Chains A and B, each alone.
Chain A
Amino acid sequence: MALETAVIQNTLADQFGAKVSNFQQIHDILTFEVNTDDIKEVMGFLRDDKTMRFNFLTDLCGMHFPDAVPERQFGMVYHMHNWMDNVRIRIKCFMDGEKPEIDSVTGLFLSANWQERETYDFFGIIFKGHPQLKRILNMDEMVSFPMRKEFPLEDGGRTDKDDRFFGRTTDNC
Protein backbone atom coordinates (compact mmCIF):
# COMPACT_ATOMS: atom_id res chain seq x y z
CA MET A 1 0.00 0.00 0.00
CA ALA A 2 1.43 3.32 -1.04
CA LEU A 3 1.89 6.08 1.44
CA GLU A 4 -0.83 8.71 0.85
CA THR A 5 -0.07 12.40 1.30
CA ALA A 6 -3.13 12.73 3.53
CA VAL A 7 -1.68 10.09 5.84
CA ILE A 8 1.61 11.95 6.03
CA GLN A 9 -0.11 15.25 6.66
CA ASN A 10 -2.39 13.87 9.40
CA THR A 11 0.41 11.98 11.09
CA LEU A 12 2.60 15.08 11.20
CA ALA A 13 -0.25 17.32 12.34
CA ASP A 14 -1.13 14.90 15.14
CA GLN A 15 2.46 14.48 16.17
CA PHE A 16 3.68 18.08 16.01
CA GLY A 17 0.58 20.29 16.01
CA ALA A 18 1.54 23.89 15.40
CA LYS A 19 5.20 23.14 14.73
CA VAL A 20 4.29 22.13 11.17
CA SER A 21 2.15 24.28 8.91
CA ASN A 22 1.27 25.34 5.40
CA PHE A 23 0.83 21.92 3.78
CA GLN A 24 0.55 22.10 0.00
CA GLN A 25 1.32 20.10 -3.13
CA ILE A 26 4.05 21.70 -5.21
CA HIS A 27 4.96 19.80 -8.36
CA ASP A 28 3.48 16.57 -7.00
CA ILE A 29 5.53 16.73 -3.83
CA LEU A 30 3.95 17.36 -0.46
CA THR A 31 5.55 20.51 0.93
CA PHE A 32 5.21 21.95 4.39
CA GLU A 33 6.91 24.36 6.72
CA VAL A 34 8.58 23.52 9.99
CA ASN A 35 9.60 25.90 12.76
CA THR A 36 13.35 26.35 12.59
CA ASP A 37 13.94 25.04 16.10
CA ASP A 38 12.10 21.78 15.44
CA ILE A 39 13.69 20.64 12.19
CA LYS A 40 15.80 17.93 13.81
CA GLU A 41 12.87 16.53 15.70
CA VAL A 42 10.59 16.48 12.65
CA MET A 43 13.21 14.98 10.35
CA GLY A 44 14.14 12.37 12.92
CA PHE A 45 10.48 11.42 13.22
CA LEU A 46 10.07 11.20 9.44
CA ARG A 47 13.11 8.96 9.24
CA ASP A 48 12.38 6.62 12.12
CA ASP A 49 8.58 6.36 12.15
CA LYS A 50 7.31 2.93 11.07
CA THR A 51 4.86 4.31 8.52
CA MET A 52 6.77 7.37 7.30
CA ARG A 53 10.11 5.67 6.61
CA PHE A 54 11.71 8.65 4.84
CA ASN A 55 15.09 6.96 4.93
CA PHE A 56 16.97 9.14 2.47
CA LEU A 57 17.95 12.81 2.48
CA THR A 58 18.01 13.67 -1.22
CA ASP A 59 19.17 17.22 -0.91
CA LEU A 60 19.23 20.30 1.23
CA CYS A 61 19.77 23.82 0.08
CA GLY A 62 19.46 27.44 1.15
CA MET A 63 17.16 30.18 -0.08
CA HIS A 64 17.38 33.92 0.14
CA PHE A 65 14.45 36.34 -0.09
CA PRO A 66 15.89 39.81 0.56
CA ASP A 67 12.49 41.47 0.03
CA ALA A 68 10.66 39.35 2.58
CA VAL A 69 9.99 40.34 6.18
CA PRO A 70 13.20 40.23 8.25
CA GLU A 71 12.39 37.02 10.11
CA ARG A 72 11.75 35.11 6.86
CA GLN A 73 14.62 36.33 4.71
CA PHE A 74 16.56 33.09 4.74
CA GLY A 75 15.21 29.64 4.16
CA MET A 76 16.26 26.04 4.06
CA VAL A 77 14.74 23.36 1.85
CA TYR A 78 15.08 19.68 2.68
CA HIS A 79 14.06 16.95 0.27
CA MET A 80 13.49 13.51 1.69
CA HIS A 81 12.69 10.28 -0.10
CA ASN A 82 10.96 7.13 1.10
CA TRP A 83 12.52 4.30 -0.88
CA MET A 84 10.03 1.63 0.16
CA ASP A 85 6.93 3.48 -1.05
CA ASN A 86 8.77 5.76 -3.48
CA VAL A 87 7.33 8.92 -1.97
CA ARG A 88 9.14 12.24 -1.77
CA ILE A 89 8.61 15.12 0.60
CA ARG A 90 9.82 18.69 0.83
CA ILE A 91 10.38 20.57 4.07
CA LYS A 92 10.95 24.30 4.33
CA CYS A 93 12.23 26.39 7.21
CA PHE A 94 12.52 30.13 7.38
CA MET A 95 15.13 32.07 9.33
CA ASP A 96 15.99 35.51 10.47
CA GLY A 97 17.79 37.72 7.97
CA GLU A 98 20.23 39.10 10.52
CA LYS A 99 21.44 35.84 11.97
CA PRO A 100 20.40 32.79 9.95
CA GLU A 101 20.94 29.79 12.21
CA ILE A 102 19.49 26.31 12.17
CA ASP A 103 20.28 22.98 13.78
CA SER A 104 22.54 20.70 11.77
CA VAL A 105 21.00 17.41 10.68
CA THR A 106 24.37 15.67 10.31
CA GLY A 107 23.39 13.57 13.31
CA LEU A 108 20.51 12.10 11.31
CA PHE A 109 22.07 11.88 7.84
CA LEU A 110 25.82 11.79 7.31
CA SER A 111 25.38 13.08 3.77
CA ALA A 112 24.14 16.37 5.21
CA ASN A 113 27.73 17.09 6.22
CA TRP A 114 28.98 18.37 2.88
CA GLN A 115 25.58 19.67 1.80
CA GLU A 116 25.43 21.90 4.85
CA ARG A 117 29.00 23.01 4.29
CA GLU A 118 28.06 23.98 0.75
CA THR A 119 25.01 25.89 1.98
CA TYR A 120 27.13 27.70 4.54
CA ASP A 121 29.67 28.45 1.83
CA PHE A 122 27.15 30.09 -0.48
CA PHE A 123 24.46 31.46 1.84
CA GLY A 124 26.24 31.96 5.14
CA ILE A 125 23.63 29.99 7.05
CA ILE A 126 25.11 28.74 10.33
CA PHE A 127 24.43 25.10 11.15
CA LYS A 128 24.57 24.62 14.89
CA GLY A 129 26.30 21.40 15.85
CA HIS A 130 27.96 20.78 12.49
CA PRO A 131 31.27 18.93 13.04
CA GLN A 132 33.30 20.98 10.56
CA LEU A 133 31.54 24.08 9.30
CA LYS A 134 34.00 25.59 6.85
CA ARG A 135 33.93 26.55 3.18
CA ILE A 136 34.00 23.68 0.74
CA LEU A 137 33.97 25.11 -2.79
CA ASN A 138 35.06 28.73 -2.55
CA MET A 139 38.38 30.08 -1.36
CA ASP A 140 38.85 30.15 2.38
CA GLU A 141 39.86 33.83 2.18
CA MET A 142 36.49 34.83 0.79
CA VAL A 143 34.40 36.96 3.13
CA SER A 144 31.15 37.16 1.18
CA PHE A 145 28.46 34.58 0.51
CA PRO A 146 27.98 34.60 -3.24
CA MET A 147 24.50 33.08 -3.54
CA ARG A 148 22.93 35.84 -1.51
CA LYS A 149 20.88 38.06 -3.75
CA GLU A 150 22.72 41.25 -2.85
CA PHE A 151 26.02 39.76 -4.02
CA PRO A 152 26.99 41.10 -7.46
CA LEU A 153 27.83 38.21 -9.76
CA GLU A 154 30.20 40.29 -11.84
CA ASP A 155 32.83 42.81 -10.90
CA GLY A 156 31.29 46.24 -11.49
CA GLY A 157 34.63 47.98 -11.89
CA ARG A 158 35.67 46.17 -15.04
CA THR A 159 36.49 48.24 -18.07
CA ASP A 160 37.77 45.49 -20.34
CA LYS A 161 34.52 43.60 -20.70
CA ASP A 162 31.94 45.52 -22.67
CA ASP A 163 28.40 44.21 -22.29
CA ARG A 164 27.70 44.83 -25.96
CA PHE A 165 30.18 42.12 -26.93
CA PHE A 166 28.48 39.60 -24.67
CA GLY A 167 25.02 39.86 -26.18
CA ARG A 168 23.85 41.97 -23.26
CA THR A 169 22.41 45.41 -23.41
CA THR A 170 21.40 47.71 -20.59
CA ASP A 171 17.94 46.10 -20.63
CA ASN A 172 19.00 42.57 -19.84
CA CYS A 173 22.22 42.79 -17.85
Chain B
Amino acid sequence: MKFDCIIIGGGISGLTAGIRCVKEGLHTAIISSGMSALHFSSGSIDVLGYINNKVVYKPFEALDTLTGTIAQHPYAKCGKALIVEALQFFKQECETQNVYLFDNENLNHFHVTALGTLKPTYFSQRSVFNEDVYNRFKSMKKIVIVNFEGYRDFHPQLAAAQLSKHALFANCEIIAKSIDMPQLQDLTRHPHEYRSIDIARIFENEENVYRIADAIRLAAEGADFVVIPAFMGIHNFNQIHNILQSRTRLLIYEIPTLPPSILGLRIDNALKSRFAQLGGVYIAGDKVVRAESSNDVVQAVYTANHPENPLEAKFYILSTGSFFSGGMISEFNNMYEPVFKLKLHYEPERNKWYSPQFFYSNSHPFLEYGVVTDENLRPYDSKNNIIQNVYCSGAILAHYNPIREGCGSGVAISTAYKAANQIISLYKLMR
Protein backbone atom coordinates (compact mmCIF):
# COMPACT_ATOMS: atom_id res chain seq x y z
CA MET B 1 0.00 0.00 0.00
CA LYS B 2 1.14 3.54 -0.68
CA PHE B 3 0.67 6.51 1.64
CA ASP B 4 1.90 10.05 1.93
CA CYS B 5 2.82 9.53 5.55
CA ILE B 6 3.21 6.42 7.69
CA ILE B 7 3.32 6.83 11.45
CA ILE B 8 4.84 3.97 13.41
CA GLY B 9 3.29 3.94 16.87
CA GLY B 10 -0.30 4.71 17.81
CA GLY B 11 0.04 6.43 21.19
CA ILE B 12 -0.67 10.04 22.10
CA SER B 13 2.19 11.27 19.92
CA GLY B 14 1.45 9.14 16.86
CA LEU B 15 -2.25 9.98 16.96
CA THR B 16 -1.62 13.72 17.32
CA ALA B 17 0.74 13.68 14.33
CA GLY B 18 -1.72 11.49 12.42
CA ILE B 19 -4.65 13.84 13.00
CA ARG B 20 -2.56 16.83 11.97
CA CYS B 21 -1.35 15.16 8.74
CA VAL B 22 -4.69 13.74 7.68
CA LYS B 23 -6.35 17.09 8.33
CA GLU B 24 -3.96 18.70 5.85
CA GLY B 25 -4.97 16.18 3.21
CA LEU B 26 -2.12 13.67 3.49
CA HIS B 27 -3.05 10.04 2.99
CA THR B 28 -1.90 8.81 6.39
CA ALA B 29 -1.59 5.45 8.11
CA ILE B 30 -0.76 4.65 11.71
CA ILE B 31 0.71 1.23 12.51
CA SER B 32 0.26 0.28 16.13
CA SER B 33 1.40 -2.85 17.94
CA GLY B 34 -0.81 -3.19 20.98
CA MET B 35 -2.58 -0.51 22.95
CA SER B 36 -0.63 2.54 24.01
CA ALA B 37 0.59 4.11 27.25
CA LEU B 38 -2.58 6.23 27.39
CA HIS B 39 -4.13 3.16 29.02
CA PHE B 40 -1.73 3.65 31.92
CA SER B 41 -1.76 7.43 32.06
CA SER B 42 -3.40 9.93 34.38
CA GLY B 43 -5.53 11.36 31.57
CA SER B 44 -4.13 14.83 32.31
CA ILE B 45 -1.63 16.53 30.01
CA ASP B 46 1.60 17.58 31.74
CA VAL B 47 3.66 20.30 30.08
CA LEU B 48 6.35 20.98 32.66
CA GLY B 49 5.85 20.03 36.29
CA TYR B 50 9.26 20.21 37.94
CA ILE B 51 12.66 21.80 37.55
CA ASN B 52 15.48 20.78 39.92
CA ASN B 53 12.93 18.88 42.05
CA LYS B 54 10.88 22.05 42.58
CA VAL B 55 7.28 22.34 41.51
CA VAL B 56 6.75 24.58 38.49
CA TYR B 57 3.75 26.90 38.65
CA LYS B 58 4.23 28.79 35.40
CA PRO B 59 5.21 26.14 32.86
CA PHE B 60 5.68 28.43 29.87
CA GLU B 61 7.92 30.79 31.77
CA ALA B 62 9.93 27.90 33.14
CA LEU B 63 10.48 26.49 29.66
CA ASP B 64 13.30 28.96 29.06
CA THR B 65 15.09 27.87 32.22
CA LEU B 66 14.78 24.24 31.17
CA THR B 67 15.92 24.68 27.58
CA GLY B 68 18.66 27.02 28.76
CA THR B 69 20.28 24.24 30.76
CA ILE B 70 19.54 21.36 28.39
CA ALA B 71 20.21 22.63 24.88
CA GLN B 72 19.26 19.30 23.25
CA HIS B 73 15.89 19.07 25.02
CA PRO B 74 13.02 18.31 22.58
CA TYR B 75 11.25 21.46 23.85
CA ALA B 76 14.27 23.51 22.71
CA LYS B 77 13.79 22.09 19.20
CA CYS B 78 10.10 22.97 19.23
CA GLY B 79 10.19 26.49 20.63
CA LYS B 80 7.62 28.07 22.92
CA ALA B 81 5.26 29.40 20.24
CA LEU B 82 4.95 26.00 18.61
CA ILE B 83 4.39 24.26 21.96
CA VAL B 84 1.50 26.62 22.75
CA GLU B 85 0.02 26.10 19.28
CA ALA B 86 0.39 22.30 19.54
CA LEU B 87 -1.40 22.20 22.90
CA GLN B 88 -4.30 24.28 21.60
CA PHE B 89 -4.54 22.04 18.55
CA PHE B 90 -4.64 18.97 20.78
CA LYS B 91 -7.29 20.53 23.02
CA GLN B 92 -9.52 21.41 20.07
CA GLU B 93 -9.23 17.98 18.49
CA CYS B 94 -10.21 16.33 21.79
CA GLU B 95 -13.18 18.69 22.01
CA THR B 96 -14.55 17.47 18.67
CA GLN B 97 -15.03 14.13 20.44
CA ASN B 98 -16.56 15.69 23.57
CA VAL B 99 -13.47 15.37 25.75
CA TYR B 100 -13.10 18.84 27.27
CA LEU B 101 -9.68 19.82 28.58
CA PHE B 102 -9.43 22.63 31.13
CA ASP B 103 -6.37 24.68 31.96
CA ASN B 104 -5.64 27.19 34.66
CA GLU B 105 -4.75 29.81 32.06
CA ASN B 106 -0.96 30.04 32.09
CA LEU B 107 -0.58 28.25 35.41
CA ASN B 108 -0.25 24.61 36.27
CA HIS B 109 -2.91 23.09 38.47
CA PHE B 110 -2.76 19.89 40.53
CA HIS B 111 -4.45 16.58 40.18
CA VAL B 112 -4.68 14.04 42.97
CA THR B 113 -3.08 10.62 42.42
CA ALA B 114 -4.41 7.32 43.76
CA LEU B 115 -1.86 7.58 46.58
CA GLY B 116 -3.12 11.02 47.60
CA THR B 117 -0.16 12.97 46.29
CA LEU B 118 -0.58 16.14 44.23
CA LYS B 119 0.87 16.30 40.75
CA PRO B 120 1.31 19.49 38.75
CA THR B 121 -0.29 19.32 35.31
CA TYR B 122 -1.50 21.65 32.58
CA PHE B 123 -4.68 20.22 31.01
CA SER B 124 -7.21 18.08 32.85
CA GLN B 125 -10.60 16.67 31.93
CA ARG B 126 -13.55 18.52 33.41
CA SER B 127 -14.17 15.81 36.01
CA VAL B 128 -10.67 16.56 37.35
CA PHE B 129 -10.35 20.31 36.95
CA ASN B 130 -12.70 23.11 35.88
CA GLU B 131 -13.83 26.56 37.04
CA ASP B 132 -16.06 25.11 39.76
CA VAL B 133 -13.20 23.10 41.19
CA TYR B 134 -11.00 26.19 41.09
CA ASN B 135 -13.57 28.38 42.88
CA ARG B 136 -14.60 25.82 45.48
CA PHE B 137 -11.00 25.12 46.32
CA LYS B 138 -10.54 28.44 48.14
CA SER B 139 -13.20 27.76 50.75
CA MET B 140 -13.29 24.02 51.21
CA LYS B 141 -13.79 22.52 54.65
CA LYS B 142 -14.61 18.89 54.06
CA ILE B 143 -13.47 16.34 51.50
CA VAL B 144 -14.94 12.85 51.31
CA ILE B 145 -13.00 10.19 49.41
CA VAL B 146 -15.31 7.42 48.30
CA ASN B 147 -14.48 3.92 47.15
CA PHE B 148 -16.75 1.08 46.08
CA GLU B 149 -16.91 -1.87 48.41
CA GLY B 150 -14.77 -4.69 47.08
CA TYR B 151 -12.78 -2.69 44.55
CA ARG B 152 -9.22 -3.37 45.57
CA ASP B 153 -7.17 -1.18 43.27
CA PHE B 154 -7.85 1.96 45.30
CA HIS B 155 -7.43 2.66 49.01
CA PRO B 156 -9.31 5.75 50.16
CA GLN B 157 -7.77 5.69 53.67
CA LEU B 158 -4.29 5.81 52.20
CA ALA B 159 -5.22 8.67 49.89
CA ALA B 160 -6.89 10.56 52.76
CA ALA B 161 -3.90 10.12 55.08
CA GLN B 162 -1.44 11.31 52.46
CA LEU B 163 -3.59 14.22 51.34
CA SER B 164 -4.12 15.55 54.86
CA LYS B 165 -0.33 15.91 55.28
CA HIS B 166 -0.36 18.57 52.62
CA ALA B 167 -0.30 22.27 53.64
CA LEU B 168 -3.15 23.07 51.24
CA PHE B 169 -5.48 20.88 53.28
CA ALA B 170 -4.34 21.96 56.75
CA ASN B 171 -7.77 23.32 57.72
CA CYS B 172 -9.73 20.67 55.96
CA GLU B 173 -11.44 17.53 57.19
CA ILE B 174 -10.68 14.54 54.93
CA ILE B 175 -12.76 11.40 55.36
CA ALA B 176 -12.54 8.03 53.61
CA LYS B 177 -15.78 6.15 52.93
CA SER B 178 -16.79 3.02 51.12
CA ILE B 179 -20.15 2.63 49.48
CA ASP B 180 -21.88 -0.61 48.81
CA MET B 181 -23.43 -1.39 45.49
CA PRO B 182 -25.38 -4.56 46.40
CA GLN B 183 -27.81 -4.25 43.52
CA LEU B 184 -24.92 -4.24 41.08
CA GLN B 185 -23.05 -7.24 42.33
CA ASP B 186 -23.46 -10.26 40.22
CA LEU B 187 -23.82 -13.21 42.57
CA THR B 188 -21.68 -15.43 40.36
CA ARG B 189 -18.68 -13.18 40.79
CA HIS B 190 -16.83 -11.98 43.81
CA PRO B 191 -16.74 -8.16 44.03
CA HIS B 192 -12.97 -8.31 44.54
CA GLU B 193 -12.67 -9.33 40.92
CA TYR B 194 -13.96 -6.00 39.66
CA ARG B 195 -11.49 -3.86 37.80
CA SER B 196 -11.85 -0.17 36.97
CA ILE B 197 -13.21 -1.11 33.57
CA ASP B 198 -16.01 -3.25 35.07
CA ILE B 199 -17.19 -0.49 37.38
CA ALA B 200 -16.93 2.11 34.61
CA ARG B 201 -19.29 -0.07 32.57
CA ILE B 202 -21.72 -0.23 35.48
CA PHE B 203 -21.75 3.58 35.41
CA GLU B 204 -22.62 3.53 31.71
CA ASN B 205 -26.10 2.30 32.62
CA GLU B 206 -28.18 5.36 33.49
CA GLU B 207 -30.38 3.57 36.00
CA ASN B 208 -27.29 2.54 37.96
CA VAL B 209 -25.99 6.12 37.95
CA TYR B 210 -29.07 7.29 39.89
CA ARG B 211 -28.59 4.57 42.50
CA ILE B 212 -24.90 5.37 42.83
CA ALA B 213 -25.71 9.07 43.13
CA ASP B 214 -28.04 8.34 46.04
CA ALA B 215 -25.40 6.23 47.77
CA ILE B 216 -22.80 8.96 47.32
CA ARG B 217 -25.16 11.60 48.67
CA LEU B 218 -25.72 9.58 51.83
CA ALA B 219 -22.00 8.91 52.34
CA ALA B 220 -20.78 12.43 51.58
CA GLU B 221 -23.21 14.68 53.39
CA GLY B 222 -21.91 18.24 53.66
CA ALA B 223 -18.74 17.71 51.67
CA ASP B 224 -17.24 20.43 49.50
CA PHE B 225 -15.50 17.85 47.37
CA VAL B 226 -16.38 14.24 46.72
CA VAL B 227 -13.48 12.29 45.34
CA ILE B 228 -14.12 8.99 43.56
CA PRO B 229 -11.82 6.75 41.52
CA ALA B 230 -12.20 7.52 37.79
CA PHE B 231 -15.20 5.36 37.03
CA MET B 232 -17.64 7.80 35.45
CA GLY B 233 -18.01 5.89 32.22
CA ILE B 234 -15.95 5.43 29.09
CA HIS B 235 -18.29 6.97 26.52
CA ASN B 236 -21.03 8.94 28.28
CA PHE B 237 -18.75 10.49 30.91
CA ASN B 238 -20.00 14.07 30.47
CA GLN B 239 -23.60 13.03 30.92
CA ILE B 240 -22.82 10.77 33.88
CA HIS B 241 -20.84 13.54 35.58
CA ASN B 242 -23.77 15.93 35.11
CA ILE B 243 -26.31 13.48 36.50
CA LEU B 244 -24.15 12.66 39.52
CA GLN B 245 -23.50 16.32 40.35
CA SER B 246 -27.04 17.55 39.86
CA ARG B 247 -28.59 14.68 41.79
CA THR B 248 -26.16 14.80 44.72
CA ARG B 249 -25.68 18.59 44.57
CA LEU B 250 -22.04 17.87 45.34
CA LEU B 251 -18.87 18.58 43.45
CA ILE B 252 -17.59 15.26 42.19
CA TYR B 253 -13.97 14.84 41.31
CA GLU B 254 -12.24 11.85 39.69
CA ILE B 255 -8.79 10.52 40.44
CA PRO B 256 -6.98 8.12 38.09
CA THR B 257 -6.77 4.51 39.26
CA LEU B 258 -4.24 1.78 38.72
CA PRO B 259 -4.24 0.54 35.10
CA PRO B 260 -6.36 0.35 33.07
CA SER B 261 -6.95 4.10 33.45
CA ILE B 262 -10.42 5.19 32.42
CA LEU B 263 -9.31 8.84 32.16
CA GLY B 264 -6.54 7.84 29.74
CA LEU B 265 -8.87 5.53 27.83
CA ARG B 266 -11.21 8.45 27.09
CA ILE B 267 -8.40 10.40 25.43
CA ASP B 268 -7.29 7.33 23.51
CA ASN B 269 -10.85 6.77 22.22
CA ALA B 270 -11.24 10.44 21.31
CA LEU B 271 -8.01 10.61 19.30
CA LYS B 272 -8.64 7.32 17.51
CA SER B 273 -12.21 8.28 16.57
CA ARG B 274 -11.03 11.65 15.34
CA PHE B 275 -8.30 10.10 13.20
CA ALA B 276 -10.75 7.61 11.67
CA GLN B 277 -13.40 10.30 11.18
CA LEU B 278 -10.96 12.36 9.12
CA GLY B 279 -10.13 9.35 6.94
CA GLY B 280 -6.89 8.09 8.47
CA VAL B 281 -5.98 4.40 8.23
CA TYR B 282 -5.30 2.81 11.62
CA ILE B 283 -3.57 -0.58 11.39
CA ALA B 284 -3.88 -2.21 14.82
CA GLY B 285 -2.04 -5.20 16.21
CA ASP B 286 0.79 -5.14 13.71
CA LYS B 287 4.44 -4.35 14.18
CA VAL B 288 7.01 -2.88 11.81
CA VAL B 289 9.84 -5.38 11.67
CA ARG B 290 12.17 -3.89 9.08
CA ALA B 291 12.68 -0.99 6.73
CA GLU B 292 14.17 -0.64 3.29
CA SER B 293 16.14 2.46 2.42
CA SER B 294 18.53 3.81 -0.17
CA ASN B 295 20.72 6.92 0.02
CA ASP B 296 19.45 7.90 3.47
CA VAL B 297 15.84 7.83 2.29
CA VAL B 298 13.45 5.19 3.63
CA GLN B 299 11.53 3.57 0.77
CA ALA B 300 9.25 1.11 2.55
CA VAL B 301 8.55 -0.66 5.81
CA TYR B 302 7.47 -4.26 6.36
CA THR B 303 5.28 -5.57 9.17
CA ALA B 304 5.08 -8.84 11.07
CA ASN B 305 1.73 -9.70 9.48
CA HIS B 306 2.86 -8.86 5.96
CA PRO B 307 6.58 -9.61 5.76
CA GLU B 308 6.46 -9.67 1.95
CA ASN B 309 4.20 -6.71 1.37
CA PRO B 310 5.78 -3.25 1.50
CA LEU B 311 4.02 -0.27 3.03
CA GLU B 312 5.41 2.73 1.18
CA ALA B 313 5.29 6.40 2.06
CA LYS B 314 6.98 9.66 1.23
CA PHE B 315 7.44 10.42 4.94
CA TYR B 316 7.61 8.45 8.17
CA ILE B 317 7.17 9.42 11.79
CA LEU B 318 8.67 7.14 14.40
CA SER B 319 6.69 7.44 17.63
CA THR B 320 7.13 3.95 19.05
CA GLY B 321 7.78 5.12 22.60
CA SER B 322 10.50 4.09 25.00
CA PHE B 323 11.59 0.69 26.33
CA PHE B 324 8.22 -0.36 27.74
CA SER B 325 6.43 -0.22 24.39
CA GLY B 326 9.34 -1.69 22.43
CA GLY B 327 10.48 1.56 20.80
CA MET B 328 13.94 0.73 22.11
CA ILE B 329 15.32 -2.63 23.14
CA SER B 330 17.87 -3.08 25.89
CA GLU B 331 20.04 -6.15 26.05
CA PHE B 332 22.63 -7.21 28.56
CA ASN B 333 25.10 -4.47 27.68
CA ASN B 334 23.71 -2.61 24.70
CA MET B 335 20.60 -0.87 23.41
CA TYR B 336 19.14 -0.47 19.97
CA GLU B 337 16.19 0.94 18.08
CA PRO B 338 14.64 -2.00 16.22
CA VAL B 339 12.93 -0.42 13.18
CA PHE B 340 15.52 1.83 11.51
CA LYS B 341 18.56 0.95 13.71
CA LEU B 342 18.96 4.61 14.62
CA LYS B 343 21.78 6.23 16.55
CA LEU B 344 20.97 6.27 20.27
CA HIS B 345 22.12 8.44 23.11
CA TYR B 346 23.00 6.22 26.09
CA GLU B 347 25.65 5.31 28.58
CA PRO B 348 27.45 2.09 27.52
CA GLU B 349 28.06 0.87 31.08
CA ARG B 350 25.02 -0.95 32.28
CA ASN B 351 25.39 -0.06 35.95
CA LYS B 352 24.95 3.60 35.01
CA TRP B 353 21.55 3.04 33.40
CA TYR B 354 19.63 3.23 36.65
CA SER B 355 19.80 4.75 40.12
CA PRO B 356 20.31 2.42 43.06
CA GLN B 357 17.15 3.71 44.78
CA PHE B 358 13.89 3.17 42.96
CA PHE B 359 12.30 6.45 44.13
CA TYR B 360 15.48 8.49 43.79
CA SER B 361 14.60 12.17 43.40
CA ASN B 362 16.75 12.58 40.29
CA SER B 363 14.97 9.69 38.63
CA HIS B 364 16.71 7.07 36.49
CA PRO B 365 19.18 7.93 33.72
CA PHE B 366 17.68 5.40 31.29
CA LEU B 367 14.60 7.60 30.99
CA GLU B 368 16.75 10.16 29.18
CA TYR B 369 18.09 7.65 26.67
CA GLY B 370 16.69 7.62 23.18
CA VAL B 371 17.10 8.57 19.57
CA VAL B 372 19.41 11.47 18.71
CA THR B 373 17.89 13.93 16.24
CA ASP B 374 18.76 17.18 14.51
CA GLU B 375 16.79 20.35 15.30
CA ASN B 376 14.07 19.25 12.85
CA LEU B 377 13.62 15.95 14.74
CA ARG B 378 15.22 13.88 11.98
CA PRO B 379 17.27 10.95 13.33
CA TYR B 380 20.77 9.76 12.49
CA ASP B 381 21.55 6.25 11.29
CA SER B 382 24.42 4.16 12.67
CA LYS B 383 26.84 5.81 10.20
CA ASN B 384 25.89 9.24 11.55
CA ASN B 385 23.96 10.26 8.41
CA ILE B 386 20.64 12.05 8.75
CA ILE B 387 17.74 9.97 7.44
CA GLN B 388 16.01 12.42 5.13
CA ASN B 389 12.34 11.43 5.32
CA VAL B 390 11.99 10.14 8.89
CA TYR B 391 10.99 12.26 11.91
CA CYS B 392 10.84 11.15 15.54
CA SER B 393 8.37 12.19 18.19
CA GLY B 394 7.41 11.36 21.74
CA ALA B 395 9.07 9.08 24.25
CA ILE B 396 11.62 7.66 21.81
CA LEU B 397 13.48 11.00 21.83
CA ALA B 398 16.59 11.43 23.96
CA HIS B 399 17.64 14.27 26.27
CA TYR B 400 14.55 14.69 28.39
CA ASN B 401 13.21 12.97 31.48
CA PRO B 402 9.41 12.63 31.55
CA ILE B 403 9.38 11.66 35.24
CA ARG B 404 11.83 14.15 36.69
CA GLU B 405 10.54 17.05 34.56
CA GLY B 406 6.88 16.00 34.48
CA CYS B 407 6.63 16.70 30.78
CA GLY B 408 5.85 13.37 29.05
CA SER B 409 2.60 14.22 27.29
CA GLY B 410 3.66 17.81 26.53
CA VAL B 411 6.76 16.57 24.71
CA ALA B 412 4.72 13.87 22.94
CA ILE B 413 2.22 16.41 21.62
CA SER B 414 4.71 19.19 20.75
CA THR B 415 7.18 16.98 18.92
CA ALA B 416 4.37 15.24 17.05
CA TYR B 417 3.05 18.62 15.98
CA LYS B 418 6.49 19.77 14.92
CA ALA B 419 7.19 16.57 12.96
CA ALA B 420 3.82 16.81 11.23
CA ASN B 421 4.45 20.48 10.39
CA GLN B 422 7.74 19.66 8.68
CA ILE B 423 6.11 16.91 6.64
CA ILE B 424 3.13 19.04 5.67
CA SER B 425 5.26 21.90 4.39
CA LEU B 426 7.53 19.55 2.41
CA TYR B 427 4.51 17.72 1.04
CA LYS B 428 3.00 20.98 -0.16
CA LEU B 429 6.29 21.95 -1.81
CA MET B 430 6.38 18.62 -3.66
CA ARG B 431 2.94 19.11 -5.19
The answer to whether A and B assemble together is: no
Interface residues in chain B, defined as those with a beta carbon under 8 Å from any beta carbon in chain A? none
